[in-house]
């Protein structure tokens, strides 16, 4: 009974959400598309020639935004869930944390990517602290992976939750990148702990 009430409450909140409504009007698959629009406006990540990997891409909101800007570069979208086709987007179904998938991506694209984006979050358990830690561990994995895939002047954007391991992730990122900043888009829900880490330009010896 409680679960049904929560589900109904979520549906009501979605329909009151201006970004949810705008996503339907503009044909975006998720309201999260507006987060990437804001992030790109602030950091100028994407252009016509950008080579990009979208991790945890389904249902495709971020890939849609990328495909509207990137017309000559390469877009790779990866997710464990199926994702419907998007023009100019090459979809790979698989888990980027799986060693076989990871090795294939690295062997093919090492040092060739301009941007890696991720709106991934760990599956919720009901324990907010645990969910925060698990999502932030994903962020650490993405930071580590990006050092192998990015060009020297490349960038990553990844979801991160404000929690006890936040400073640890910031410290780790600064060992790999010259610029590390955090940004919470207006389209993120007010009650959400999510923010986004933007790292740019690899530290090279």
Please pick, among 35, 102, 159, 200, the residue that the annotation labels catalytic. Answer: 159
**pLDDT at residue 13 tops 80:** no
186 or 20, which is more confident? 186
| Per-residue model confidence (pLDDT) at position 192 | 81
The pTM of the full predicted model, rounded to 2 decimals, is: 0.89
For the chain, state the CA radius of gyration.
17
Q: What is the pLDDT of residue 7?
A: 54
159 an active-site residue? Answer: yes
pLDDT of residue 1: 43
User: Edge to edge, what strands does the sheet with 52-55 contain?
Assistant: 89-93, 75-79, 52-55, 113-118, 150-161, 194-202, 177-183
- To which CATH superfamily is domain 31-202 assigned? Vaccinia Virus protein VP39 (3.40.50.150)
Judge whether residue 148 has pLDDT over 60: yes
pLDDT at 57: 97
pLDDT (average), residues 161-170:
86
Beta pairing class for 177-183 and 194-202: antiparallel
Alpha carbon 159 to its chain centroid, in Å, reads 6
- Average pLDDT of the chain is 90
Predicted local distance difference test score (pLDDT) of residue 56: 96
pLDDT over 90 (residue 74): yes
């Amino acid at each position: 009974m409680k679960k049904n009430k929560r589900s109904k409450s979520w549906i009501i909140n979605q329909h009151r959400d201006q970004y949810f409504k705008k996503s339907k009007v503009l044909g975006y698959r998720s309201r999260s598309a507006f987060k990437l629009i804001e992030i790109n406006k602030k950091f100028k990540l994407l252009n016509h020639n950008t080579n990009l990997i979208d991790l945890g891409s389904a249902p495709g909101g971020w890939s849609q935004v990328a495909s509207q800007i990137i017309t000559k570069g390469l877009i790779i979208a990866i997710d464990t869930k199926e994702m419907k086709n998007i023009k100019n987007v090459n979809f790979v179904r698989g888990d980027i944390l799986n060693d076989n998938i990871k090795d294939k991506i690295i062997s093919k694209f090492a040092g060739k990517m301009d941007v890696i984006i991720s709106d991934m979050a760990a599956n919720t358990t009901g324990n907010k602290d645990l969910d925060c830690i698990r999502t932030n561990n994903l962020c650490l994995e993405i930071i580590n992976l990006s050092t192998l895939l990015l060009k020297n002047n490349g960038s990553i954007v990844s979801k991160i939750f404000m929690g006890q391991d936040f400073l640890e992730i910031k410290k780790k990122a600064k060992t790999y990148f010259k610029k590390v900043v955090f940004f919470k888009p207006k389209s993120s829900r007010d009650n959400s702990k999510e923010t986004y880490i933007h790292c740019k330009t690899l530290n090279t010896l």
